Each structure stands twice: as structure tokens, then as C-alpha cells.
């Protein structure tokens, strides 16, 4: 017999043996989920071939499977069982349970950049989150408003002077939110904030870095180290990791040096100082959590704020409502407070519609630590499986959202919201691993909008009907946030 044929038999035999052994070891999980609908899996590969699409098409494929099989489906990626749950009531039960409070395996793709902490859900996430939580409470955030007001007023002036040209407002908004985050959560002075190592480079490569992470999450072949290297992904990863390391190192170095001179008051302290002063983290862990909370604050706030401005430019009647409300509640000038922002109901509706349309996480994954049942015990998710919540699809389910692909802030009017299952809107996730910075981000984003509208009248560039979505962890506008702007006549004449 030819040695090559012998080798082939041995390889095939080894693979079959491995598959049979895996099925034996996981027979309980397989038996428990046999009745769950989903595409039929192949030996060894599972349903991996079903998801051999461009990353932005992955959510579309999951949407197709749910349309065919229902609100609860399963699929296998090799040996990994994923159970997708779309029903809002089931989502609340699952995400609120202590049995599902670990991030899923896809978050391992973030570890090279940010370590195994707060965002990636490693073993230290709970203790590290507890340390930084005080920087996100209402009292501390109120003390951050002087920075918010100063940076956002400057942004309003910049945007109002753009003239009649079309521009992507995300670039200017991102620079503004970055400065606000640096001078609050990062604890930096204005001078330090403007001179952080590789800052400008970092904030504009973040999108590409997230694309690489999402590629790694969604393309199973990139989990094979030789392929990851041969396809040039390792080189890209190393490039991004170097920038991340130098930026976080500089921020932490500056704060350590500043703390040798004085310690901020408890009510004004940023997260970097808390991590340093806790004495519980290594230098490497401090850097990783610093980068985590930096990029998940300035970048996310920048995207959502740009989305609000984009929608206001395309919805002149809502822009007028929001602007009039700002003048009535806050006035045309002067600093803004958190209590005033809470009174801006029209702005809040546009903000929520932006979060619905552009969710921060298009899809989230959790590891099921213990068996957990839903629907009066008729369905059980077995320990060891991964729970997938397709937030993008929940936010566009026509059973809860009329004309779900249309931008309609009025859907958040109280009389409309009360008709809808409240769990059909989960922009910040739920449970113990919900979004840490939701209150901080909301305050910063709304302050951005108030100051921009005080200075500028926004106008559309193109049509919302032509808006294309890009999905790379979060959902964004594929073609940018393009608008036009001109100074408000009231301010010129005044």
C-alpha cells in the first residue's frame, strides 16, 4: 500500500476517533439540546461552513436562521455549542442570572489588547469593576461637567464653522470625546491630555483594530495560529498592540507621577488613579484596564454622539424640537448640568433611537456556567454552552418596532413605549455585566449634542434611505456620519 494512502487512512481514522470521543464526552450537552431547532451540523466542523461569510454578513446569517427556526436556535462552531435567544422575556431571565455572568469565548479575541479584565470577562473582572465603579456614579459625573462643557463648547464652535461642505462629523466628535475622557476618567490635565503618546494615531486606528478583532471572532480559520500568521493578521495585531501599549503606558506613567505630588478628592477621582491607589493590580493590569475603559468610553461616546447628530441633520422637525427644548430648559449659553439634561425629553428620544439603530454591541455572548431553564423549564441551556443575544435583531424585530429599519424617535414617546415589551430595548445589556459607563456616556453624549445645536444648524448630506450599516462589534454607519452645518443665525445676530 502506498505510504501516502496509509497516512491518509491514519489521519481520517484519528479524526473520526477524536470526533467520537468528543461526542461521548459531550453526550449530555448533545442530548439536552437535541430538540432545539437549528441547521444540521457536520462532523468536526459543526455549522462553521454556514458562517463562512464576510464579517458584516454574520449577523444577517443569524437573522436568516432565526427567521427560519424561531426565537431560540442552536448552532455549532466546531465543538462549541451556541444557543441564540431573541425573546425579550427570556433575555431578561438569562442575563439577570448568576449562572450566566461570564463572557463567552469570542471575547478571548480581545485579550491580546486589553487582557482578561473588565471588558473581556477574565477572572478579575468583578474585583476590578468594583474598584472603578465610584468614578461612574452620579456625584462624580456631576463633577466632570466643567470638562464636558468646555470641550463640547469648543466642538460646537468647530462644527458651526464648517460652512456648506459635507464632512464626517465623527472625526471632530471623537477628538472632543477623547479630550473629555482624558480629563475625567483618565485624570489627565489638559496639557497632558493633548500630549499623550500616539493618541491621535490610536483614536483613528481603533476602527481598523475592532475590525481585526471582529474578523478573529467570526472567522474560525483565524483561530488556527499558522493561518493567522500566514494571512498577515499577526503582523496587524502586533502593530495595534504596540500602539495600545505605548498609549496606556504613557497615561499610567503620567498619573503615577502626578499622584506623587497630590491625590484628587474622592468625588473627582478618575479610574486610573483608583486602579493605581488600590494596590490590587500589577502595572500590566493597570495598563490593560486603562486602555479598556479609555477606548470603551471615548470611542463609543463618539460613535453614538455622531449618530445623534446625523439623525438630527436628517430629521429637521426633530432638530427644531430638540433645539427649542434646549433653549427653554438650559438656555442659549452657559454650562449644562446633569439635572438639566434629564429634562430634555425630546433629546432623550433621539438618543434612544440612535442606540436602537446603532447598538453598541450588535451581538453579545455569555458562557453558561450552570444549567439554566427558561419557559417554565421547557428549555434548558446546558452548562458549557454559549448564550448569544442578537441585540441588533432584537432592536429590529417588527413584533416590537413598527417600521424597524426607519429612524423614528417618536417610537420612544411614553404612550408608544408602554405598548412595547421593555426588554426589547437592551442597548447597555442587562445584569451584573451590563455597561459600566452607561450614565457617564449618556451625560457626555447629550452634552455634545446640546453644545453643537447651540452653535450650529445641521443639514443632511444624502438620504437616510441610502444608509448602510457596518458591523464590527458595534453597529455603525458604513459610509461615515456625513452632514453639513452652518452657524445659527440667532447666535450671529445676537
Q: Which of 142, 144, 102 is nearest to 126 (CA)?
A: 102
What global pTM score does this model have? 0.93
pLDDT confidence of residue 490: 60
| Segment 142-171 mean pLDDT | 95
169 labelled ligand-binding: no
Mean pLDDT of 25-41: 85
Closest CA to 389 of 410, 359, 355: 359
Average pLDDT value for residue range 219-226: 83
Q: CA neighbours within 13 Å on the CB side: how many for 154?
A: 13
Q: Does an H or E element contain 460, and which?
A: strand 456-460
Tally of residues, the chain: 494
Q: What is the pLDDT of residues 330-351, one digit of tens each?
A: 999 999 999 999 999 999 999 9
User: In the predicted model, is pLDDT for residue 491 greater than 70?
Assistant: no
Percent of the chain's residues with pLDDT above 90: 64
**32-46, 147-161, 249-263: least confident range:** 32-46
Does residue 51 register a pLDDT over 90? Answer: no
More confident residue, 484 or 377: 484
Question: 204 versus 342: which is more confidently predicted?
Answer: 342
Q: Model confidence over 285-316: pLDDT tens digits? A: 999 999 999 998 999 999 999 999 999 999 99
Cα–Cα distance measured from residue 136 to residue 138, given in angstroms and rounded to the nearest whole number = 7
Degrees, nearest 5: CA angle 269-271-275: 110
- Give 231-267 pLDDT, tens digit per residue: 999 999 999 999 999 999 999 999 999 999 999 999 9
Using DSSP, how many helices (H) and how many strands (E) does the chain show? 22, 12
Q: Which helix (H) or strand (E) holds 379?
A: strand 379-381
Phi and psi at residue 333, to the nearest 5°:
-140, 175
Query: Which pLDDT does position 9 carry in this prediction?
Result: 67
Res. 55 pLDDT band, cuts 50 70 90? low
- pLDDT, tens digit (0-9, with 9 covering 90-100), for 73-105: 999 888 889 999 999 999 999 999 989 988 888
Does the CA dihedral 338-341-343-345 come out positive or negative?
negative
Strand partners, 457: 486
- Measure the CA–CA gap between 252 and 246, rounded to whole angstroms: 10
Task: Give the model's pLDDT for residue 339.
Answer: 95
Portion of the chain with pLDDT greater than 70, in percent: 97
What are the C-alpha distances in Å from 310 to residues 128, 154, 204?
35, 19, 19
* CATH numeric code, 33-493: 1.10.630.10
Stretch 180-184: mean pLDDT: 97
Distance CA 241, CA 173 (A): 24
Amino acid at each position: 500500500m502506498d505510504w501516502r494512502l496509509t497516512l491518509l487512512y491514519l489521519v481520517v481514522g484519528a479524526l473520526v476517533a477524536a470526533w467520537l470521543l468528543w461526542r461521548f464526552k459531550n453526550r449530555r450537552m448533545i442530548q439536552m439540546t437535541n430538540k432545539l431547532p437549528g441547521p444540521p451540523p457536520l462532523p468536526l466542523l459543526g455549522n462553521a461552513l454556514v458562517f463562512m461569510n464576510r464579517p458584516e454578513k454574520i449577523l444577517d446569517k443569524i437573522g436568516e436562521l432565526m427567521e427560519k427556526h424561531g426565537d431560540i436556535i442552536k448552532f455549532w462552531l466546531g465543538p462549541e455549542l451556541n444557543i441564540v435567544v431573541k425573546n425579550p422575556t427570556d433575555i431578561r431571565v438569562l442575563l439577570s442570572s448568576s449562572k450566566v455572568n461570564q463572557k463567552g469565548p469570542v471575547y478571548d479575541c480581545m485579550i491580546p489588547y486589553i487582557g482578561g479584565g473588565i471588558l473581556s470577562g477574565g477572572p478579575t473582572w468583578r474585583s476590578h469593576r468594583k474598584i472603578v465603579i465610584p468614578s461612574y456614579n452620579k456625584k462624580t459625573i456631576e463633577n466632570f461637567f466643567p470638562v464636558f462643557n468646555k470641550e463640547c463648547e469648543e466642538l460646537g464652535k468647530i462644527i458651526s464653522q464648517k460652512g456648506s461642505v459635507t464632512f464626517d462629523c465623527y472625526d471632530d466628535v471623537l477628538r472632543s470625546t477623547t479630550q473629555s475622557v482624558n480629563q475625567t476618567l483618565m485624570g489627565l490635565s489638559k496639557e497632558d491630555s493633548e500630549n499623550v503618546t500616539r493618541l491621535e494615531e490610536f483614536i483613528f486606528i481603533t476602527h481598523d483594530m475592532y475590525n481585526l478583532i471582529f474578523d478573529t471572532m467570526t472567522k474560525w480559520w483565524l483561530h488556527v495560529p499558522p493561518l493567522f500568521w500566514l494571512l498577515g493578521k499577526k503582523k496587524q495585531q502586533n502593530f495595534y498592540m504596540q500602539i495600545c501599549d505605548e498609549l496606556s503606558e504613557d497615561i499610567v506613567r503620567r498619573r503615577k507621577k502626578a499622584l506623587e505630588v497630590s491625590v484628587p478628592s474622592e468625588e473627582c477621582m478618575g479610574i486610573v488613579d483608583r486602579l493605581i491607589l488600590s494596590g490590587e493590580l500589577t502595572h500590566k493590569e493597570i495598563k490593560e484596564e486603562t486602555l479598556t475603559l479609555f477606548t470603551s468610553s471615548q470611542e463609543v461616546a463618539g460613535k453614538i454622539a455622531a449618530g445623534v447628530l446625523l439623525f438630527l441633520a436628517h430629521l429637521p422637525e426633530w432638530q427644531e424640537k430638540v433645539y427649542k427644548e434646549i433653549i427653554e430648559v438650559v438656555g442659549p449659553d452657559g454650562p449644562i448640568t446633569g439635572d438639566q439634561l434629564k429634562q430634555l425629553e425630546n433629546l432623550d428620544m433621539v438618543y434612544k433611537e440612535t442606540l436602537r439603530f446603532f447598538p453598541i454591541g450588535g451581538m453579545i455572548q455569555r458562557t453558561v456556567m450552570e444549567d439554566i431553564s427558561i419557559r417554565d423549564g421547557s428549555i434548558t441551556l446546558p452548562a458549557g454552552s454559549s448564550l448569544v443575544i442578537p441585540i441588533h435583531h432584537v432592536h429590529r424585530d417588527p413584533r416590537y418596532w413598527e417600521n424597524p429599519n426607519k429612524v423614528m424617535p417618536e417610537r420612544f414617546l411614553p404612550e408608544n413605549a408602554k405598548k412595547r415589551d421593555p426588554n426589547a430595548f437592551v442597548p447597555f445589556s442587562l445584569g451584573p455585566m451590563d455597561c459600566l459607563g452607561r450614565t457617564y456616556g449618556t451625560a457626555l453624549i447629550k452634552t455634545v449634542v446640546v453644545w453643537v445645536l447651540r452653535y450650529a444648524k445641521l443639514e443632511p448630506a444624502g438620504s437616510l434611505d441610502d444608509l448602510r450599516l457596518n458591523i464590527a462589534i458595534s453597529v455603525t454607519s458604513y459610509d461615515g456620519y456625513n452632514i453639513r452645518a452652518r452657524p445659527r443665525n440667532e447666535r450671529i445676530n445676537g
